[in-house]
Structure 1
Amino acid sequence: MLVSLVSNSKPLPPEQPDVVVPWWSFTKTVLAAASLTLVRDGLIGLDDSVSEGPFTLRQLLRHQAGLADYSELAHYHTAVFQDETPWPADDMLQRLDAARLRYEPGTHWHYSNVGYLFVARLIQRITGLTLEQALAQRVFAPLGVTQVRLARTREDLKGVRLGSAPAYDPGWVYHGLLVGPLAQATQLLDQLLGGALLPVSLLREMQTPVHLGGPIPGRPWNTPGYALGLMIGDVDSGLTLRGHTGAGPGSVLAVYRCVEGGNTATCAVFAESDDQGSAEAHALEHLSAALGSRQSIT
């Protein structure tokens, strides 16, 4: 298990900043940040409808657009397991019958990678740039993150720590798969939530969650919620986690920030397993220690 931690309250443990890992669904946090810079610049409104369907940017970012998710397709998992060539995105959408909304936008919550595919397309359409160019211009450069890239092919994953799935094809992540040093995931979330990219009003919107019920078995969440590209909720130690967990074949990345009093700590944990709860618990353990929380996580 690899850990990167930054804190303003306690000495830091040894880091492994140069280990390049897949960011999995932490990519969603970056896509959300990029789309919110478009809102910041007056190019789209959070509650504007988008051309991908009868839903708004806010609903896409919050997984409330009424969309299904391709993880529901049994043959998707079979194709990934058998190392098949990824289907073209439009083929995947047709197989999923993605144009058929599963509920009226804004009335329910359902995690959807398809929603973030539409966010990625929206960013490209509005900026006139490739997704990688847009993310570099609008997120990475302003936050001083210089070593992150989009992986499109198996060749792009050479040198990336992949756990037990070294032959994985990143084309199966339809909204795009970012890869980069573990420490740069920590840096990006710390800078983003610290106010280095978005104005206060938009940062507040980004961190306003829809609440998703009670505790999740096997995971540290007591009151889980989802905001705009962020998982947010209270945990056993009394802290509130803000960040994202991402999982793919053979590994998990959990990147979270906590604030307690005037102190902050941000931690990224990469585990070569499929256990999201364990990675989150390890991140929380490091955050609690850095903030001097009275409770420890076992």
Structure 2
Amino acid sequence: MLYSLVSSGRLHAPDQAEPTVPWWSFTKTVLAATALSLVRDGLIGLDDPVSDELFTLRQLLRHEAGLADYGELPDYHAAVANGESAWPVEYMMQRLDGTRLRYAPGAGWRYSNVGYWLVGRLIERLTALTLDEAVERRALAPLGLANVRFAKTREEMRNSPLGANPDYDPAWVYHGLLIGPLSQAALLLDRLLAGSLLPQALMGEMRTARMLSGPIDGRPWKTAGYGLGVMQGSIEGGIGLCGHTGQGPGSTIAVYRAAVGDASACCAVYAMSSTEGLVETVAVERLLRMFE
């Protein structure tokens, strides 16, 4: 298990060279930050309809757009487990009936990777850049990150500690899969939530969550919800927690930030485990130690 800590804006340097790891669904936080930079710059409004669709950018970012998720397809999981190459996006959408809304936008909640694929397409359209270029210029570079990129090939994944599936095709993550050192994930979240990229009003929008549950068995959440690209809730002692957990074949990443008074801490944990609660619990334990 690997971990990286930032406290009060300062990175606790790792003892040894860090491997490059997949950020899995923590990539969604970076996509949300990039999309919100478009709102900051007046290129789109949070509550503007996306293209000719019925849903808004806010609803896409908070999984309230009514879209399904390809993760519900058994054949998707079987293909990934068999080491197959990713389906073309058109085929995936056809298999999923992905353009059909499952509920009226804003009337429900359903986690959707398809929604974030659409966020990526929106970013490309509004910036006239590739997603890689837009994320680099609007999020990674302004936040001072290094050695973070989108994985394109199986070879890039083989150089990461992946556990169960070392021959994974990163194209299975249709919205894009960022890879990089854990320290950079911790720094990104810490700087983003500290207000280094977005104005205070937009940060408030990002962290306004649709609350989904109370305590979750096997996980450290006392309350849990979803904001704009971030999981948001409370942990032991009523401390607020904000960040994202991501999971892929055989490994999990959890990146979270908490603040107590004027002190803040951010922890990124990566483990070759498919148990989200285990990795989140380690992140929370290390965060709480920072406040002792």
1:248 matched to 2:248: yes
- Any gaps of 5 or more consecutive residues in structure 1? 293-298
Partner of 2:168: 168
Q: Deviations over 1:175-195 (max 9, x none)?
A: 000000010000000000011
Listed one character per residue, the Cα deviations across residues 123-180 of structure 1 (whole Å, up to 9, x for unaligned) are 0111111111000000011001121010122023242221221111101101000000
2:75 maps to 1:71: no
Preserved CA contact (<8 Å) 1:3 1:16: no
CA contact (8 A) 1:52 1:118 kept: no
Tell me, yes or no, if structure 1 residue 43 matches structure 2 residue 39: no
Distance 2:39 2:161 in 1: 35
2:9–2:191 contact (8 Å) kept in structure 1: no
Shift of 1:8: 2.5
Counterpart in 2 of 1:98?
98
Once the two structures are superposed, residues 106-138 of structure 1 have per-residue CA deviations (whole angstroms, 9 ceiling, x without a partner) of: 011100000000000000111111111000000
Kindly report which structure 2 residues correspond to 1:159-198, keeping only aligned pairs within 5 A, or say none.
Answer: 159-198=159-198
Task: Determine the C-alpha separation between the residues in 1 that align with 2:286 and 2:22.
Answer: 21
Aligned position for 2:127? 127
Following TM superposition, by how much is the alpha carbon of 1:99 offset from its aligned partner in structure 2, in angstroms?
A: 1.2
Q: Which secondary structure does the structure 1 equivalent of 2:288 belong to?
A: helix
Q: How many Å separate the matches in 2 of 1:92 and 1:74? A: 12
Two-structure CA RMSD over aligned residues (Å): 1.6
SS at match of 2:257: strand
Instruction: Give the conservation status (yes or no) of the 8 Å contact 2:230–2:243.
Output: yes
Other-structure match for 2:140: 140
Compared CA separation, residues 152 and 194, structure 1 to 2 (3 A): same
Q: 1:13 offset after TM fit, Å?
A: 8.0
TM-score in terms of structure 2 length: 0.97
Matches within 5 A, 1:278-289: 278-289=278-289
Give 2:260's aligned amino acid. Answer: E
Alpha-carbon contact 1:254-1:268 (below 8 Å) kept: yes
Alignment-derived partner of residue 266 in structure 1: 266
SS of residue in 1 equivalent to 2:147: coil
Matched to 1:118, the amino acid is L
- Residues 231, 243 of structure 2: 8 Å contact kept: yes
Amino acid at match of 2:227: A
Matches of 1:153 and 1:11 in 2, distance apart? 30
Give the distance between the partners of 1:17 and 1:209, measured in 2 at CA.
36
**1:296 is matched with which residue?**
none
Segment of structure 1 superposing worse, 151-160 or 262-271: 151-160
CA distance in 2, matches of 1:17, 1:256: 22
Q: Give the superposition deviation at 1:12.
A: 4.6
Match of 1:117, SS state, is helix
Once the two structures are superposed, residues 80-113 of structure 1 have per-residue CA deviations (whole angstroms, 9 ceiling, x without a partner) of 1111111111110111001111000001110000
1:41 Cα deviation from its structure 2 partner: 0.3
Q: TM-score, normalised by structure 1?
A: 0.95
Call closer, same or farther: CA 1:249–1:259 in 2, change over 3 Å: same
Show the counterpart of 1:150: 150
CA distance in 1, matches of 2:10, 2:37: 32
> CA 1:133–1:153 in 2, change beyond 3 Å: closer, same or farther?
same
Deviations 1:61-82 (A, max 9, x none): 0000000000110100011111
Structure 2 counterpart of 1:133, which letter? E
Q: Does 1:59 align with 2:56?
A: no
Cα distance in 1 for partners of 2:262, 2:70 equals: 42
Q: Distance in 1 between matches of 2:10 and 2:199?
A: 28
- The count of corresponding residues between Structure 1 and Structure 2 is 292
Code of the residue aligned with 2:175 in structure 1: it is H
Aligned 8 A contact 1:69 1:113 in 2: yes
More deviation, 230-239/68-77: 230-239
Gaps of 5+ in 2: none
**Does the Cα contact within 8 Å between 1:3 and 1:15 map onto a contact in 2?**
no
- Are the structure 2 counterparts of residues 141 and 9 from structure 1 closer, same or farther at C-alpha, using a change threshold of 3 Å? closer
